[in-house]
Amino acid sequence: MSYNLSNLLYLITIVTFVLALRYLSNPAHARRGNQIGAAGMVLAIVVTWVKVGSTSWWAIAIAMLVGGGFGAVAARRVRMTAMPQMVALFNGVGGGAAALIALAELHRVLPPPGAPKADITIGIVLSALIGSISFSGSMVAFAKLQELIGGRPITYVGQQFVNGALFIGALGCAISLVAGVQVEWLLWVTIVASLAFGVLFVLPIGGADMPVVISLLNAFTGLAVALGGFELQNNVLIVAGMLVGASGTLLTLMMARAMNRSVANVLFGAFGQVSEAAAAVAAGDGGTVRSATAEDVAVMLAYAHKVVFVPGYGLAVAQAQHDVRQLADLLESKGVEVSYAIHPVAGRMPGHMNVLLAEANVPYPQLKEMDEANPEFSRTDVAVVVGANDVVNPDARNNQGSPIYGMPILNVDDAQTVVVLKRSMNPGFAGIENPLFYNPKTVMLFGDAKESITKLVADVKTV
Lay out the site mask for another protein across 194-213 (x = CB under 8 A, - = otherwise).
--------------------
Contacts of another protein in 250-289 (CB under 8 A): 250-251
Rounded distance between C-alpha atoms, residue 252 and residue 267, angstroms: 11
Rounded distance between C-alpha atoms, residue 376 and residue 4, angstroms: 57
Contact 194, 97 (CB under 8 A): no
Of the two residues 49 and 438, which places its CB atom closer to another protein in the complex?
49
Of the two residues 131 and 427, which places its CB atom closer to another protein in the complex?
131
Contacts of another protein in 318-377 (CB under 8 A): 342, 344, 349-352, 354-355, 358-359, 361, 363-365, 367, 369
- Maximum CA extent, the chain: 85
Question: C-alpha angle with apex 179: 136 to 222, nearest 5 degrees?
Answer: 35
Taking the complex as a whole, the smallest distance from the CB of residue 264 to another protein amounts, in Å, to 21
Taking the complex as a whole, the smallest distance from the CB of residue 386 to another protein amounts, in Å, to 18
209 included as an active-site residue: no
Residue 22 CA: distances (Å) to CA of 18, 25, 162, 237, 369: 6, 6, 42, 19, 21
Does 461 engage in binding with another protein (CB under 8 A)? Answer: no
Contacts of another protein in 116-135 (CB under 8 A): 117, 119
CA atoms within 13 A on the CB side of 359: 18
* Active-site hit among 209, 323, 390, 395: 390
Q: Which of 145, 191, 195, 225 binds another protein (CB under 8 A)?
A: 225
Of the two residues 57 and 303, which places its CB atom closer to another protein in the complex?
57
Contacts of another protein in 58-77 (CB under 8 A): 59-60, 63-72, 74-76
Question: Total number of residues binding another protein (CB under 8 A)?
Answer: 113
Does 443 engage in binding with another protein (CB under 8 A)? Answer: no
Does 100 engage in binding with another protein (CB under 8 A)? Answer: yes
Phi, psi of 5 (to 5 degrees): -60, -45
Contact 245, 223 (CB under 8 A): yes
Rounded distance between C-alpha atoms, residue 463 and residue 451, angstroms: 19
Contact 214, 252 (CB under 8 A): no
Taking the complex as a whole, the smallest distance from the CB of residue 128 to another protein amounts, in Å, to 11
Contacts of another protein in 367-426 (CB under 8 A): 367, 369
| Amino acid occupying residue 19 | L
Lay out the site mask for another protein across 11-40 (x = CB under 8 A, - = otherwise).
--x---xx-xxx-xx-xx-xx-xxx-xx--
Stretch that binds another protein, among 242-250, 261-269, 274-282, 401-409 (CB under 8 A): 242-250
Does 248 engage in binding with another protein (CB under 8 A)? Answer: yes
Positive/negative CA dihedral, 360, 365, 368, 374: negative
Contact 390, 208 (CB under 8 A): yes
Rounded distance between C-alpha atoms, residue 172 and residue 245, angstroms: 24
Does 236 engage in binding with another protein (CB under 8 A)? Answer: yes
Q: Which of 208, 212, 243, 263 binds another protein (CB under 8 A)?
A: 243
Element (H, E) at 44: helix 30-52
Neighbouring residues of 68: CB distance < 8 A, sequence distance ≥ 6: none
Taking the complex as a whole, the smallest distance from the CB of residue 72 to another protein amounts, in Å, to 5
Stretch that binds another protein, among 105-113, 403-411, 422-430, 449-457 (CB under 8 A): 105-113
Question: Would you name the residues annotated as active-site residues?
Answer: 390
